[in-house]
Amino acid sequence: ETGVTQTPRHLVMGMTNKKSLKCEQHLGHNAMYWYKQSAKKPLELMFVYNFKEQTENNSVPSRFSPECPNSSHLFLHLHTLQPEDSALYLCASSQVGAYNSPLHFGNGTRLTVT
């Protein structure tokens, strides 16, 4: 398997549930990212991990909790979400420090909070 894989593709959860999104990259990259894509809004960078260390958190509410156990896997743990958190959550990876290395994206998890 190649590229960036995200699971599940679709998720419906209530506001009191706890769920996790998973991302796996098979590209040998050293950085991973979570982006949020909401309707009619630009992509919002949520978290950045370089070599498993979180290097950026863009004022994301604590109900979103990322985890990066190794450079190939990234999780986003969700709890007590709000309906406005419904969006497409995109994971990406890249090789930081490499010239001409773009971000590679997964197909996203479509999250609906009811």
Partner 1 sequence: GDSVTQMEGPVTLSEEAFLTINCTYTATGYPSLFWYVQYPGEGLQLLLKATKADDKGSNKGFEATYRKETTSFHLEKGSVQVSDSAVYFCALTENQGGKLIFGQGTELSVKP
The residue among 12 and 15 lying less far from partner 1, judged by its C-beta, is 12
Q: Strand, helix or coil at 106?
A: coil
Of residues 7 and 15, the one with the C-beta less far from partner 1: 7
Binder among 36, 106, 111, 113 for partner 1 (CB under 8 A): 106
Q: Quick check: 79 binds partner 1 (CB under 8 A)?
A: no
Asked if 27 is part of the footprint of partner 1 (rule: CB under 8 A), the reply reads no
- 14 or 51, CB closer to partner 1? 51
Q: Which amino acid is at 109?
A: T
Q: Positive or negative CA dihedral for 42, 47, 49, 52?
A: negative
Residue indicated by tokens 């590209």: 27
By CB under 8 A, is residue 49 in contact with partner 1?
no
Query: Cα separation of 91 and 20, whole Å?
Result: 13
Strand partners, 81: none
From the CB of 15, what's the least distance to partner 1, in Å? 26
Tally Cβ neighbours within 10 Å of residue 1: 5
- Kindly list the residues in this chain that would bind partner 1 in the complex (CB under 8 A): 4, 6, 31, 33, 41-43, 45, 48, 56, 90, 92, 94-108
